[in-house]
Amino acid sequence: MPFLGTGVYKNPAAVLIGAPYDATSTYRAGSAHAPASIRWASESVETFSPFQQRDLTDLAISDSGDLDLAGCSPEAMVERVRARVAATSGLPVVIGGDHAVTFGAVAALAERHPDLGVIVLDAHLDLLDEYEGAHWSHATVLRRISDRLGPERCAVLGARSGTRDEWAAAASLAAVARTGDLPPAARAAMRDRPIYLSVDIDAFDPSIAPGTGNPEPLGISIGEFASLLGVLAEHRIVGCDLVEVSPPCDPSGRTSILAAWLLREMLLAFVHPGDTRTE
Ligand SMILES: [Mn+2]
C-alpha cells in the first residue's frame, strides 16, 4: 500500500523511499517494520492540512516502495540507500529504518550539493566514534555525517542524551539544543545552504511517541516541530527522512500515526505546488 496521497508521475516533485533496516539498533530493534506500518497508518490521516492550508493531492509525490535491505551489512545498506537517493530526481524522503540509514542519503546529497548542511532532530547526540566496535551504527550516525561535512555544517535539536565525551564533541556543531528551536546563529549558518533534515522520532517526548527503540524523557512537542517546519519552509530543503519508529514497541499504533502525520506536514512544507507534475 503506497503512502497517503501519492501517485505515479514521470517527474515527481518528491519520492518516498522505504529503508526497512534495523540491524544497527542498540537496544530494541523493530524499525525495519516502520515503512509498512507508517504507510498503513497514513490511511488514518487526511491529505489536506488545515495548518498549512495545503493538500498532498495538489503535489506530484511518488512512493517508490522499499529498498531490499534484507541481510545487508551496515556498509552494504548505506551503499544501497546512497545509490537509490543518488538516482532519485525530486525531493528524496526516506522512511527508516534505524538512524544509520540517514548516512546513505546524506552521502548521496553531499555529492550533488557540496555545501550541504544537515539538521537532525534527535534525543541522542549519536556522536560516538564507534559503538561496541561498530563504525556504522545508529549511535554513530551524526559523527559520520560530521566527519563527512564538518561539524559547523551540522545542527542537532531535541538533544538530551549522550556521553560526557559526546557532549564535549557537540560543542563544535553549528547548534545543539534541547528544544526544537533552531537557534538564531544556526539559522544564519544554514540560511544559504541546501539542507537535509533528519527526524528521529525519539526527539519527541515519549508520552507522544512511545513506539521507538530508545525512548528518552523530556522531548520536544508537536507544536515545537510545527514551528520549526515554518522556519525550515523558508530554507532550501533538498532531502529529509523520518527514522526510528519501532512498530513492535508501539502496540496502539499511535507512533506510526504520528509519523504519517509528520511526513504529511514535511511534504507539504517542503514540496511546492509549482513543482513538476507530469502524469
Ligand atoms: Mn535517537
The whole-number pLDDT of residue 276 equals 59
Cα–Cα–Cα angle for 57, 61, 66, rounded to 5 degrees: 130
Residue 25's nearest CA partner among 145, 122, 137, 135 is: 137
- Burial class from Cβ neighbours inside 10 Å (0-12, 13-18, 19+) for residue 92 reads buried
Mean pLDDT of 44-69: 97
Distance 279 CA to ligand 1 centre (A): 38
Task: State the maximum Cα–Cα separation within the chain, in Å, rounded to a whole number.
Answer: 53
Distance 181 CA to ligand 1 centre (A): 17
Residue 106 to residues 39, 159, 195, 239, 279: CA-CA distances in angstroms?
A: 23, 20, 10, 8, 29
Write out the residues surrounding ion ligand 1, Cβ under 5 A: 122-124, 200, 202
Residue 277 to residues 8, 12, 88, 192, 271: CA-CA distances in angstroms?
A: 10, 6, 15, 27, 11
Per cent of the chain over pLDDT 90 is 87
Model confidence at 56: pLDDT above 50: yes
Outline where the chain has alpha helix (H): 34-41, 74-86, 101-112, 141-149, 164-170, 184-190, 222-232, 254-270
Model confidence at 249: pLDDT above 70: yes
Distance 7 CA to ligand 1 centre (A): 31
Q: Are strands 48-49 and 54-55 parallel, antiparallel or unpaired?
A: antiparallel
The pLDDT-based confidence of 279 (bands split at 50, 70, 90) is very low
Would you list the domain boundaries of the chain?
A: 14-270
Residue 201's nearest CA partner among 41, 5, 2 is: 41
The pLDDT-based confidence of 234 (bands split at 50, 70, 90) is confident
CATH superfamily of 14-270: Ureohydrolase domain (3.40.800.10)
Residue located via cell numbers 528521529: 200
Distance 120 CA to ligand 1 centre (A): 10
Residue 230 to residues 49, 245, 247, 254: CA-CA distances in angstroms?
A: 13, 23, 29, 24
Distance 75 CA to ligand 1 centre (A): 20
pLDDT digits (tens, 9 = 90+) for 163-175: 999 999 999 999 9
The whole-number pLDDT of residue 275 equals 72
Report yes or no: 259 and 266 within 8 Å, Cβ to Cβ. no
Model confidence at 135: pLDDT above 90: no
Q: How far apart are CA 239 and CA 197, in angstroms?
A: 7
The whole-number pLDDT of residue 16 equals 98
Distance 9 CA to ligand 1 centre (A): 34
Distance 18 CA to ligand 1 centre (A): 18
Distance 210 CA to ligand 1 centre (A): 12
Distance 200 CA to ligand 1 centre (A): 6
Q: Calculate the CA 133 to chain-centre distance.
A: 25
Distance 158 CA to ligand 1 centre (A): 10
